[in-house]
Structure 1
Amino acid sequence: MDAHLDMIAQKCLSASYAGTMAFPGIVDTLMAAGFEGYLVDYRCATTTYYLPDGDSVVLGNEPSDGKVAARFNAAGLEAEVRRAQANGPDYTYRGFCQNAKAHGCAGYIVSFFGRRVVYFGRTAETHVEHFPDR
């Protein structure tokens, strides 16, 4: 992986936690750099960014409280996604991660080309969110 691409991925991940860049800006930045998507794995505490040529970069996530719940609660997770989309003054990505895990979300994969996010639980149950129209 090119050091410049590593830096862009790290910048986006850090900006998520710092609250300085919202999801649409992160998507735009990563796409402009040539990434095709990424995977957040709460059980391994990593985010993997993928390039179309098969190359990838794996970064460590900042810690968030709690473990991934055994039961996948799609309705609760969807409510968390809506809260994130509203980007209210009390929203934080760290809080989103903590709440997603409490709803049984083990991770999610973002596809820029598919314009969707697939959230998955420990039992491989899923919840799909399509990117909102801009």
Structure 2
Amino acid sequence: MDDQLKAIAAACLDGAENNTTSFPEILATLIQAGFEGYAVDYRRATTIYYRPDGDSVELPTNRHADTIGQAFDIPALQAAIREAQQQVPGYTYAGFCAKAMAAGCVGYVVSFPGRRAVYSGRTAETHVELFPN
């Protein structure tokens, strides 16, 4: 992957982790640059950004001190997702990650063409969340 695309992915990750860029802005930037999605792995503290040609870039993310819950608590995960979508006062990406992890989420995959995110638990349970209109 060329350096410009790596820089775009890194800027989007930085914007999320520093709460300076909203999820819709990140999506628009990544789509404009030709990415088709990304995957967040809480266990490894990484995010991988994918292009349709099979090229990808893996970036380290902030390692969260929180532990991942044993049970996959979909209602708790959905509550964290709704807070993010509604940008409730006090929302932070780090706070979202902590709540998702406490709900037993080990990571998630975002598909731009599919307009969805698929969240996974420890035993490969999944929750599919469609992008809001």
Q: TM-score, normalised on structure 1?
A: 0.97
In 1, distance between residues paired with 2:44 and 2:64?
12
Question: Which segments of structure 1 move beyond 6 Å, counting only runs of 4 or more?
Answer: none
Letter in 1 for 2:57: V
Q: Find the counterpart in structure 1 of residue 10 from structure 2.
A: 10
Local SS of the residue matching 1:20: coil
Other-structure match for 2:106? 106
Report the equivalent of 2:94.
94
**Letter matched to residue 35 of structure 1:** F
**Aligned Cα root-mean-square deviation (Å):** 0.7
What is the distance in 2 between the residues matched to 1:65 and 1:98?
9
Q: Name structure 1 gaps, 5 residues minimum.
A: none
Runs of 5+ unmatched residues, structure 2: none
Q: Distance in 2 between matches of 1:67 and 1:113?
A: 31
What percent of counterpart residues are identical? 55
Other-structure match for 2:118: 118
Give the paired residue count.
Answer: 133
Task: Trace 1:1-134 onto structure 2 (pairs within 5 A).
Answer: 1-133=1-133
Query: Secondary structure, in 3 states, of the residue corresponding to 1:82?
Result: helix
**1:63 Cα offset (Å):** 2.0
C-alpha distance in 2, partners of 1:17/1:50?
Answer: 19
